[in-house]
Structure 1
Amino acid sequence: MASLCTGLAPHVSPRTAAGLRGVLARLAAPLQVAVAGRIKSGKSTLVNALIGRRVAPTDVGECTRLVTRYQYGTVDRVEVVLTDGRKQVLPFDAEGMVPAQLGVDLATVSHVEAFLTNAVLRDLTVIDTPGLGSLDADSVARTEAVLHQSGLDPVSRGAVAGAEAVLYVFTQGVRVDDRQALAAFTAATAGREAGPANAIAVLNKADTIAPETVDGADGDVWKAALLLAERQARTLKPRVADVLPVIGLVAESAETGGFSSADADALRKLAELDPATRETMLMSADLFTAWECDVPQGARARLLERLDLHGVRTALEAVDAEPAITAGALRRKLLDASGLDGVRGKLNAVFRARADGIKAAAALASVSALAAASGDPNERQRVHNAIEVLLAKPEAHQLRLLEALTLVASGAVGMPVDLAEEVLRFGVSPDPVEQLGMVGRPPEAVAAYALERAGWWRSFASFGATPAQSRVAHVVHRAYFLIWQQVRGHQRVRGRR
């Protein structure tokens, strides 16, 4: 894709050439993930946990009403980008966070750039968005601009148009506007709708789910969250690769240094209380802070602020099991209980492992859009021809597969339910065995299945499929065939050894 852009630039109009340079810049940049969701869904808290530093303000303030991009930089700094292209540089506040007040008229601000010397951001730029459903119409407009770019000025468009993937955050249940937001995620992925190749959903604040409201939870909060996430995944698919539960507050405290040795000491003292007293205190936040005991109220209030009641209960259970547990080990227990590792693992599997493919697919869509916007029919044809040459190359198969996933996920190409699910499995993971749904099966069985399905999809493409279905079927046929070649090649290598 980079070679295509470089080769086309001297032969197109200055406007199209400028667009191609923008595409080249995005290809060279880290994968950009937009974190979206309703107001109060805990987006900024999750951003902090993912980055590993409490840098995104979580209380309502000026910056929570703006799009903020967190990216790698050699010097920590905040840049307020104005709509006229000018920038104002600010330091982080005394606590190391983006300042709550920016000192400028928000109407003149396009977005905020936060640069951090953080290893996590070397290959991932995180875009924090204002919440959907906000009472602030301007904040809603900015979020909607990230999602579908309606009426966005060029500077803001440059800030968000590079987002190639989305992490969608919701709580309790998926609402109609949540589904609409995911369906509208076209512009933030350079013209491609959200689907299993570029979208993950997170069920945040999992500790607030009442287990008695979820059948099969057996009174267990985390089991209830897992069951609810599975159900929401069925509701949201094929828009997302998966739905994962997480307790963002606990994840943020455990991962960013918010949980301290003093907090661990307070928990150890609380663990020494008699069981009846402790259980009574854990019935509500008011009882937890107001009850008379040896642990100072301030320490208990801080625990609530950092962990909430469920997190406190989880920590106390860990202390019960291991009274001499260190603060570091307790922090790790809390991190494990937060579900953050699951979210990171899925981010790595769905986004990072195929970052080049996602970026290339977004770039292809951008180049196609540039051609469509050109007023010169010869230029449009020139770009179209270059794209066809690129897609004819064997290494471009990943682009075709991502395109097929998008077409099926968006409903642009209708498929029977069983065939659609088979196609969409290719977006769940870059691992061929997971794509085939054959985890744990011997290589011989995987190879045989891949070859059998390759033949079936080839026949379907030629007999019985509509023209649109046939286009997808040919891509799926080749995907299976390449998996068969890959698995058989590994078998031969092992055989020679």
Structure 2
Amino acid sequence: MTALQGQQLAGPLCAAVAHLCAALQQQVSPATAAGFQEVLRRLHAPLQVAVAGRIKSGKSTLVNALIGRRVAPTDVGECTRLVTRYQYGTVDRIEVVLQDGRRQVLPFDASGMIPASLGLDGVSHIEAYLTNAVLRDFTVIDTPGLGSLDAASVARTEELLDPVSRSAVAGAEAVLYVVTQGVRADDHQTLAAFTAATASREAGPVNAVAALNKVDAVAPESVAGSDGDVWRAAEILAAKQAELLKPRVADVLPVISLLAESAETGEFTSADADALRRLAALDADTRSMMLMSGDLFTSWECDVPAGVRSRLLEKLDLYGIGRAVAALDAEPGLTAGALRRVLFDASGFAAVRARLDAVFRARADGIKAAAALASITSLAAGEPGERQRVHDAIEVLLARPEAHQLRLLEALTLVSSGAVTLAPDLTEEVLRVGSTPDLPGQLGLAGRPVGQLQAHALERAGWWRSFASFGATPAQARVAHVVHRAYFLIWQQLRAGGHR
């Protein structure tokens, strides 16, 4: 048994592509075969999720919350200019990979984080191996801030996101894109660049989710319909951002990564809870004045030492402190653990994690298999005979009934990227069928009885079959046949009791 065979594949689609890849290695050139071996390695690895965004968008703080450990440096420094890959290992260790391929093992710093300064020349990137269980399913790739710092930082990220320049199979398979209050033109450009990150597959609702971070900084009075509520304002802004980024991302979710990091990584301690209790004991007017600004909070005269207040501000910011104090007003006996849950709930991180599970974890098999097929196609782009053999083998695989998910992901990518143009209502329908995990959601009929769901699925299957045969362009017909098949399979699942 080889090392690869002893590792877990994401599911049956990855297994089928791995079998195809192994079989093709005997039919292609040595150089292409070597690339296929790398594809096999990637198929056996966890889904690779890149966290990307602009400088100071809170990417690294969100990475720490995702991992459940404060290990990624969050202050701008040498390490935030480097690509860092966080992956599962049986022993915690840091490997600094140099540009000449050599590796050097470094210890974590005294606080358990990656050292802010590496003291090494010619560093390519950092590989961090951690025992955190979440990394069994996801390899998390922290990328340098874009549109920032220097050209070299951006170039390193672009290098990570460009499998053709490194090898045809390098780069992430999915992306969590972090934005703050304003989506800019280069945010769109960065998401478009993930065409390269996903082995020449466009970033779209299958493999991309966005987080609207630092929503505690939103001025609710500036957002119509918020009724002065910060979180309602954040939800409204996130919905607007989703429209701007559509269809590049499956969703835009509001989050406060600082609160998520403090709650998820153990940064919030019983000493912090004690300090918050002492603040809650102050009179309401004093507290209101202190929470007006960071300077007032740390400089105001009170019996909680200024240094303690500064640490609270670093961990929770004014919004988190205010939420914790309000919770203590309502229930003075809250324990440190209960306060941590209050802060976690206030962060919005639970919704982000649930969406990542629904979009990435539940579809890892299809995402990884589709990325691998794109890589195989790219690798065999040279000699015509080799290219034809690979193409024919892929077509045979895609003709199998169990490979329909790959066809659906391909159709979704074609539509979301604009490569195939449909009427807006049909585009919306394709995105819904391909992007939503539950059957009623795919049909756009959440909460309806099963009989109605069955009838609608069968009706839409017939419509898309007719559209494919009469009136569609060849490219549209290719998508329409896939959508017809998707509806038919939904109908079959409903008949078989696939939805209760």
Q: CA deviation at 1:187?
A: 1.4
Match of 1:193 in 2: 202
Distance (Å, rounded) in 2 between the aligned partners of 1:62 and 1:416:
48
2:189 and 2:98 map into 1 onto residues whose CA distance is: 29
Tell me which residue corresponds to 2:232: 223
Counterpart of 1:473 in structure 2 is 480
Aligned: 1:59 with 2:75 = yes
Write the deviation string for residues 439-460 of structure 1: whole angstroms up to 9, x where unpaired.
Answer: 1111111111111100000000
Q: Take 1:411 and 1:438, find their aligned partners in 2: how far apart are those partners? A: 26
Q: Distance in 1 between matches of 2:487 and 2:171?
A: 31
1:273 lines up with 2:282 in the alignment: yes
Task: For residue 186 of structure 1, report the CA deviation from its aligned partner.
Answer: 1.1
Q: Contact 1:79/1:114 (CA < 8 Å) preserved in 2?
A: yes
| 1:153 Cα offset (Å) | 4.3
Deviation at 1:143, TM superposition (A): 1.8
**RMSD across aligned C-alpha pairs, in angstroms?**
1.3
- Give me the whole-angstrom Cα distance separating, in 2, the residues matched to 1:231 and 1:477: 31
Alignment partner for residue 71 of structure 1, among 87, 100, 107? 87
- Superposed CA deviations along residues 34-54 of structure 1, whole A, max 9, x for unmatched, are 000000000000000010000
Structure-1 residue corresponding to 2:245: 236
Per-residue CA deviation, residues 63-89 of structure 1 (Å, 9 max, x unaligned), is: 111100000001111111122221111
1:29-108 matches, within 5 Å, as 29-105=45-121, 108=122
* Structure 1 unpaired stretches of 5+: none
- State the distance in 1 between where 2:349 and 2:438 align: 22
User: Where does the alignment leave 5 or more consecutive residues of structure 2 unmatched?
Assistant: 1-16
In 1, Cα distance between equivalents of 2:278 and 2:476: 65
Residue pair 1:253, 1:259 contacting (<8 A) in 2 also: yes
Q: TM-score, normalised by structure 1?
A: 0.95
SS at match of 1:300: helix
The CA distance in 2 between the partners of 1:173 and 1:427, in whole Å, is 28
Give the C-alpha shift of residue 149 in structure 1. Answer: 5.2
State the distance in 1 between where 2:113 and 2:198 align. 28
- Give the alignment partner of residue 317 of structure 1, picking from 326, 331, 334: 326
- State the secondary structure of the residue aligned to 1:120: helix
Q: How does 1:103-114 map to 2 (within 5 A)?
A: 103-105=119-121, 108-114=122-128
Q: How far has the Cα of 1:115 moved from its partner?
A: 0.1
Return the offset for 1:347.
0.2
Question: Aligned to 1:140, what secondary structure does the other structure show?
Answer: helix
Is 1:288 the equivalent of 2:297? yes
- 1:260 corresponds in structure 2 to 269
Contact 2:61–2:257 under 8 Å retained in 1: yes
The answer to whether the 8 Å contact 2:163/2:171 transfers is: no
> Residue type of the partner of 2:108?
F
Equivalence for 1:444: 451
2:306 corresponds to:
297
Paired with 1:436 and 1:24, the residues of 2 have a C-alpha distance of 35
Shift of 1:144: 2.2
8 Å contact 1:68–1:113 — kept in the other structure?
A: yes
Q: Is contact 2:223-2:233 (8 Å) kept?
A: yes
Q: Which residue of 1 aligns with 2:438?
A: 431
CA contact (8 A) 2:161 2:172 kept: no
- TM-score of the superposition, structure 2-length normalised? 0.95
Percent identical among aligned pairs is 75
Higher mean C-alpha displacement, 274-283 vs 81-90: 81-90
Cα distance in structure 2, aligned partners of 1:178 and 1:149: 20
Q: Is the 8 A contact 1:165 1:199 kept in 2?
A: yes
- TM-aligned CA deviation for residue 429 of structure 1: 2.4
Q: What amino acid is aligned across from residue 73 of structure 2 in structure 1?
A: P
Contact 2:462–2:484 (CA under 8 A) maintained in structure 1: yes
Paired residue type of 2:476: Q
The reply to whether residue 17 of structure 1 matches residue 33 of structure 2 is yes
The aligned counterpart of 2:5 is none
- In structure 1, distance between residues paired with 2:433 and 2:216: 32
Amino acid at match of 1:115: Y
1:377 maps to which residue? Answer: 384
Could you say which residue in structure 1 is the equivalent of 2:192?
183
Report if the CA contact (8 A) 1:212-1:218 is conserved.
Answer: yes
Q: Give the Cα–Cα distance (whole angstroms) in 2 for the partners of residues 168 and 147 of structure 1.
A: 13
> Match for residue 214 of structure 1?
223
**Distance in 1 between the 2:88 and 2:380 partners?**
32
Matched, 1:251 2:295: no
Rounded to whole Å, the distance in 1 between the matches of 2:143 and 2:497 is: 44
Distance in 2 between residues matched to 1:20 and 1:140, nearest whole Å: 29
Aligned residues: 484
Give the one of 405, 409, 425 matched to 1:402: 409
Write the deviation string for residues 364-392 of structure 1: whole angstroms up to 9, x where unpaired. Answer: 100111111x2x22111111110111011
| C-alpha distance in 1 between matches for 2:326 and 2:435 | 35
Residue 4 (structure 2) aligns with: none
The residue aligned with 2:157 is 143
CA distance in 2, matches of 1:490, 1:149: 42
> Conserved in 2, the CA contact under 8 Å of 1:83 and 1:153?
no
Residue identity matched to 2:207: N
Aligned counterpart in structure 2 of residue 331 of structure 1, from 340, 345, 363: 340
Tell me which of 7, 13, 19 is aligned to 1:3. Answer: 19
Structure 1's 134 and 162: CA in aligned 2 closer, same or farther, altered over 3 A? closer
Q: Check if 1:132 corresponds to 2:132.
A: no
Instruction: Report the Cα offset of residue 146 of structure 1.
Output: 2.8
2-structure distance, mates of 1:185, 1:110: 20
- CA-CA distance at 1:147 after TM superposition: 3.2
Q: Give 1:94 shift.
A: 1.1
Shift of 1:142: 1.1
Structure 2 residue aligned with 1:116: 130
Instruction: List per-residue Cα deviations over 1:132-183 (Å, max 9, x = no partner).
Output: 0112221111122233457x445xx86xx24110000010110110011111
Rounded Cα–Cα distance in structure 2 between residues aligned with 1:149 and 1:137: 19
1:147/1:181 contact within 8 Å kept:
no
Aligned: 1:26 with 2:36: no
Letter in 1 for 2:155: A
In 2 relative to 1, CA 484–153 (structure 1 residues): closer, same or farther, beyond 3 Å?
closer
- What is the one-letter code of the residue matched to 1:117? T
Query: What are the superposed Cα offsets for residues 262-302 of structure 1, whole Å, 9 maximum, x if unpaired?
Result: 11111111111111111011111111111111111111111
Aligned-partner Cα distance in 2 for 1:383–1:109: 37
Q: Check whether the contact 2:259–2:320 (CA below 8 A) recurs between aligned residues.
A: yes
- Is the 8 Å Cα contact of residues 26 and 162 (structure 1) preserved in structure 2? no
